[in-house]
Homo-oligomer: A and B are copies of this chain.
């Protein structure tokens, strides 16, 4: 009897009607985690609260012996230790990262994978060397079209054994806005293991799949990359046989801090009558966020929120505020962002088989009690 990878590594599937979250999805949810939504209060997410998604295992990495190799269609191959990377002029950028699968577990039918609700997001100050500086030093040859990034995390996915790999088009890799970073620090400290220690890629405005962690190789190629994470995963498909469009930049999204206090088990919210200060943050990897609206009646009517910031940190979320006068009863709070190119968030799900790039508006059910002291 043969023992093959297919024995442990199945095809993608959709959950059946009424099918609860499986033990396999739970195994992913127990190790990966979102950002608890009350952490939207922080402009920069404190360590440990930023969302984390690891495809395979967090690899062991020794900063002292780690080498990043840049090769392929370049005139001069580079081989750099972390200290050598730190010798380049450092650039620090505040960047909001979001998982491409954020919101997946709210879709019907539910794509079976990491079961995110809405909290797969976080913002950090990333410090590193601009990728274009390293590419200029290596000298990109004519005919180059893409840059492939290889991480050290190793696993199998739908039968394909692989190191995690993703590519960027050459113009994105060479561009200065957004400035793609080869980063070695997060919030002024060395990268934590789960965020790519000792070196990772940061591509502002792009979903998480582009942010290759535990970065070991950067390869300039003269043909488009057709690896698993580019050609099979992370594509927008209605049917399994579709070629599909690639997942790229982050669609606009606003989230609110669930107000009042929660029930432990249902996570439903309770407030008392009166003015409730609603707050949250909004971002888009496509174009700057220009407006945020709030609905307190399940999306039937919308009011503009006060939007701050946005000047200094193009690639980070912007804070917003809205004063809501809560009256006794049941309410559903929602918020939605609009960006400078007119993109906004749908009230009905935009479905695809991978559950990617889904920016359905958040729904926060709230119970307002009868009076100040009611319980």
Contact = CB atoms under 8 A, between A and B. Distances in A.
B375 A5 contact: yes
A242 interface: no
Contacts of A41: 60
Nearest to A368: B3
Contacts of A22: 20-21
Interface residues of A, number: 78
A98 interface: no
Contacts of A20: 19-22
A115 interface: yes
A270 B156 contact: yes
A31 interface: yes
A342 interface: no
A193 to B, nearest CB: 6
A10 B265 contact: yes
Interface stretch (A44-52, A176-184, A293-301): A44-52
A262 B57 contact: yes
A9 B58 contact: no
A11 B244 CA distance: 46
Nearest to A11: B265
Given A58-B36, A58-B38, A263-B8, A192 B29 contact: no
Interface in A328-375: 328-330, 367-370, 374-375
Contacts of A193: 39, 46, 49
B330 A3 contact: yes
A34 interface: yes
Interface string A90-105: 0000000000000001
A172 interface: no
A20 B253 CA distance: 29
A31 B24 contact: no
B328 A194 contact: no
A189 to B, nearest CB: 9
A367 B54 contact: no
Contacts of A105: 23, 26, 30
A261 to B, nearest CB: 5
A45 to B, nearest CB: 10
25 contacts: A3-B367, A4-B369, A4-B375, A7-B330, A8-B266, A9-B266, A26-B117, A27-B117, A27-B267, A28-B265, A29-B30, A30-B34, A30-B119, A31-B37, A33-B33, A36-B57, A46-B194, A47-B47, A48-B50, A48-B195, A57-B258, A112-B265, A157-B265, A161-B270, A161-B375
Interface of A: 2-5, 7-10, 19-34, 36-39, 41, 46-50, 52, 54-58, 60, 105, 112-113, 115-117, 119, 154-158, 161, 192-195, 258, 261-270, 328-330, 367-370, 374-375
